[in-house]
Chains A and B, each alone.
Chain A
């Protein structure tokens, strides 16, 4: 059997204002059944990682709690762009999930390392 494809899912939109974040998470969960999946939060996508989201009053679901289940799906490589953390004045303990900060050089390398990039 050939090696499983390596997929990178890039989350680049803030949560709830659009459906990108939730759709991206669904794609990650599905793809994890067949592929090696990594996730990168970049740009305003980093804002999906803020805790205490209560979106029921705007008819949305707090899908960020599902990030905690990613490890159960074998998705353990979860990255965040360090430049965006700094731009947003966020530290690791502001986030609801343990993520690995990457420099721009690391991100460039990551983009080259994977077979497929899915952008959300």
Chain B
């Protein structure tokens, strides 16, 4: 089980396509920093298909996305970030 963190914005479409292609169903994706734009229902060019996608609350709020984040995505605070790290065997950073 791998936690994939993704911190690049909508300009990094190729990176997101590579990330999405390599994530298995056991894994989780955590959207952080500018990566949270990928968790929005309308701004992103395609929806996140993975069943376990999380987004860091502080980064969502910072960018005015609190009401734009997709319903399928779970927001987590910094304690939740740590929890996800310990629940998974490995953390892979996409940047």
Please determine whether B65 and A17 come into contact, CB atoms closer than 8 angstroms. Answer: no
Q: A14-B10, A88-B43 are in contact. Are A52 and B64 (CB under 8 A)?
A: yes
- Interchain CA distance A55-B36 in the complex, whole Å: 13
Q: Which of A17, A53, A64, A87 contacts B33 (CB 8 A)?
A: A17
Q: Smallest CB-CB separation from A50: which chain B residue?
A: B64
Please determine whether A54 and B9 come into contact, CB atoms closer than 8 angstroms. Answer: no
Chain A residues within 8 Å of B7, by CB = 17
Please determine whether A60 and B62 come into contact, CB atoms closer than 8 angstroms. Answer: yes
B61 lies within 8 A of chain A by Cβ: yes
Report B24-62 CB contacts with A as 1/0, cut-off 8 Å: 000000000110010000110100000000000111011
- Interchain CA distance A76-B87 in the complex, whole Å: 52
B67 lies within 8 A of chain A by Cβ: yes
Q: A14-B10, A43-B11 are in contact. Are A57 and B63 (CB under 8 A)?
A: no
Q: List residues 12-65 of chain A with CB under 8 A from any CB of chain B.
A: 14-17, 43-44, 47, 50-55, 57-58, 60, 64
Secondary structure type dominating chain A contacts: loop
Chain B residues within 8 Å of A112, by CB = none
Interface size class of A (residues with CB under 8 A): 20 to 34
Q: How far is the CB of B10 from chain A (nearest CB, A)?
A: 6
- Interchain CA distance A51-B11 in the complex, whole Å: 21
Q: Smallest CB-CB separation from B35: which chain A residue?
A: A17
Chain B interfacial positions (CB closer than 8 Å to A): 7, 9-11, 33-34, 37, 42-43, 45, 57-59, 61-67
Question: Told that A16-B33, A17-B34, A53-B63 touch, could you supply 15 new A-B pairs with CB distance under 8 A?
Answer: A14-B34, A43-B11, A44-B10, A47-B43, A47-B63, A50-B64, A53-B64, A55-B62, A55-B63, A57-B57, A57-B62, A58-B59, A60-B62, A88-B10, A89-B43
A-B contact pairs, 16 of them (CB 8 A): A14-B37, A16-B33, A44-B9, A44-B34, A47-B37, A47-B63, A50-B64, A52-B67, A53-B62, A53-B63, A54-B61, A55-B63, A57-B58, A58-B58, A89-B43, A90-B43
